[in-house]
Structure 1
Amino acid sequence: MPRTPEESRALFDHWARTYDLSLAGSDGPKAGPLAGYRASLLAAADRVPVAPGAAVLDVGIGTGALAELLAARGAALFGVDPSAEMLAVCGERHPAFTLEVGDFNQIPFAAARFDAVVSSFAFHEVPPAGRAAACAELARVLRPGGTLCLLDVMFASPASREEARAAIGEYWDDEEDYPLVGDLDALLYAAGLGATSWWQTAPFHWMVLARKPRGTA
């Protein structure tokens, strides 16, 4: 059964100090669905269109792994995460980042604030019933003409998800509810985002770029 948001927050509070260390071997068989984690981060960062000085929000920033790659390109990084402990670790490592407690359904920043909004390996923590509202909230804080990038454990179809479950075996986490590409694409368009482009970055990872049309609120 999927975790509740409260259970997820408690998990990441407890995991914060060892999170990066536990993902250091994310290419081994014990990594489960996260196999290829670092390569997927690099692929996503390479495709996000950010210019020096761009305001970028990372939702579910964790310890700042994706945000760090974008900051290296001159972006000004902002981050939200439901875990105060994750934010504490991120702030220690990246004191220039502006960090706030928040989540996909409650982003504590003004509308149209960011040139780009990104997230890595976090959207699946949103319960399915809350994903439409989460996409609308992501669109709200994005400037017209801005880009959204979501990278996560995702699957092209229910069949491919079940195939992955069988292949991963004991390292599959039944407390996770991983999105399907088509379902998320439809939610993004319903939220007012469009021009989506999809890439598979690892056996169990997909990323999407979507744009907020110019001339919208």
Structure 2
Amino acid sequence: MSKDFTELFDEWSERYDETVAGGDEEYREVFDGYDRILEEVASRVSGTVLEFGVGTGNLTEKLLRRGCAVYGIEPSKGMREQALKRQFDMVLAAGDFLRFPLVPEKIDAVASTYAFHHLTDEEKEEAIAIYSGLLGAGGKLVFADTMFEGEEERREIEEAARAAGHVKLLNDLRTEYYTTLNVLEGILVRHGFEVSFYKLNRYVWLMDATKASEEG
């Protein structure tokens, strides 16, 4: 990936669950409805799931409760340590969206929450091309992350963060690789996916993509 976020996430790992629960005022809207968002992602996949950005294991837990077999990929050692404390029946490995150990069985879905924005648009396309090669017809790609309907919405949200004095959030919005729906849709279509988007809170959209058959 273009930036190495592992040190940041190592430092954040012990406070992450407090943040997503609303403990940080600046990011409260970003994580509004966090549990519901994770449940929505988990409800749209089944079978063997490759999960990127496992973090402390919150999405993993929901996937396992639904009977999925989970292969988790997490670049941060601190986050992996937090997830391992929960003693889930899963396979957890170091890696990221672009570089990860091969899964020794057929993958039915790829899932992720609050992580895909760490890739540039070019890297997003590289990653989706990889997942397209791993998934068969009907395979699912379900991500929830901060993204924008378009550039107008990006500007409105950045201005709202500035007006609220949310300096850290504004810096994130301006320096991380949050994409727009039309850019992401174009990438997915080029790599054989049919996609729908659903807005889950002010910042987060859900991307539900299905690998089409070769005939489709």
TM-score by length of 1: 0.86
Residue 11 of structure 1: which of 8, 22, 26 is its match? Answer: 8
Listed as ranges, the matches of 1:78-93 within 5 Å are: 78-93=71-86
Partner residue in 2 for 1:150: 143
Which segment is superposed worse, 121-130 or 147-156? 121-130
Which residue identity does 1:102 align to in structure 2?
Answer: G
How many residue pairs get matched? 208
- Cα distance in 2 for partners of 1:212, 1:183 equals 18
Deviations 1:132-184 (A, max 9, x none): 10111222232332111011001100110110111122232233221111101
Partner residue in 1 for 2:185: 185
Partner residue in 1 for 2:211: 212
Partner residue in 2 for 1:34: 31
TM-score by length of 2: 0.86
Identity %: 31
Contact 2:29/2:202 (8 A) holds in 1: no
Contact 1:104/1:138 (8 A) holds in 2: no
- Cα distance in 2 for partners of 1:182, 1:175 equals 20
Partner residue in 1 for 2:45: 49
Does the residue aligned with 2:67 lie in a helix, a strand or coil?
A: coil
Q: CA deviation at 1:39?
A: 2.8
Deviations 1:54-91 (A, max 9, x none): 11111111112112111111111110011122112112
1:168 aligns with 2:161: yes
CA RMSD after TM alignment: 2.3
Partner residue in 1 for 2:200: 201
Does the residue aligned with 1:58 lie in a helix, a strand or coil?
A: strand
Q: CA deviation at 1:32?
A: 4.8
Unaligned runs of 5+ in 1: none
- Cα distance in 1 for partners of 2:17, 2:92 equals 18
Call closer, same or farther: CA 1:143–1:63 in 2, change over 3 Å.
farther
Which residue identity does 2:37 align to in structure 1?
Answer: S
Which residue identity does 2:208 align to in structure 1?
Answer: L
- Cα distance in 1 for partners of 2:180, 2:62 equals 26
